[in-house]
Amino acid sequence: MATTQKATPITLTLTDKAAAEVRKFMAEEKATPETAGLRVGVLPGGCSGFRYSLSIEDKPADDDIVIESAGVRCFVDGFSAQYLNGVTLDYRSNFQESGFAFDNPNATGGCGCGSSFTV
């Protein structure tokens, strides 16, 4: 039986900078670009109620939503999808820090660290 995209289609966007950084991490982990991708998730916790999770995975789970953005395959589980629709993932770098940043239109609040949010 073939694996198909499940659940509600969502919009998840990676900026070109974020996609370039993800490709660097995938190369470092020797992930196969044809099957591997970036898992984007939301987990309970963090100082505002939910926190974001990013990891490189070899292949999607059977029930994942698979989205391609800026040439990168993204894997989103059903629980996370409801909180990630419309999110843009960017990579920002300045003198003090660098890292992935989430622009989430679903968030009603957040914290100073930028890695957790409230809905």
- Taking residues 32-47, report their average pLDDT: 88
CB contact at 8 A, 66 and 5: yes
Q: Residue 46 pLDDT more than 80?
A: no
* 12-114: CATH topology: Hypothetical Protein Aq_1857; Chain: A; (2.60.300)
Asked whether the predicted pLDDT for residue 20 surpasses 80, the reply is yes
* 77 and 41 Cβ atoms separated by less than 8 Å: yes
Q: pLDDT tens digits for 68-119?
A: 999 999 999 999 999 999 999 999 988 888 899 999 888 776 655 555 555 5
Comparing 33 with 77, the larger pLDDT belongs to 77
Sheet hosting strand 87-93, strand order edge to edge? 12-14, 87-93, 98-103
Q: What is the average pLDDT across 31-37? A: 90
Tens-place pLDDT, residues 54-69: 999 999 999 999 999 9
pLDDT at 64: 96
Across 17-26, average pLDDT: 96
pLDDT of residue 115: 52
In whole angstroms, what is the distance from residue 113 CA to residue 18 CA? 19
- Radius of gyration in angstroms for the set of CA atoms belonging to the chain, rounded to a whole number: 14
Q: What is the pLDDT of residue 109?
A: 64
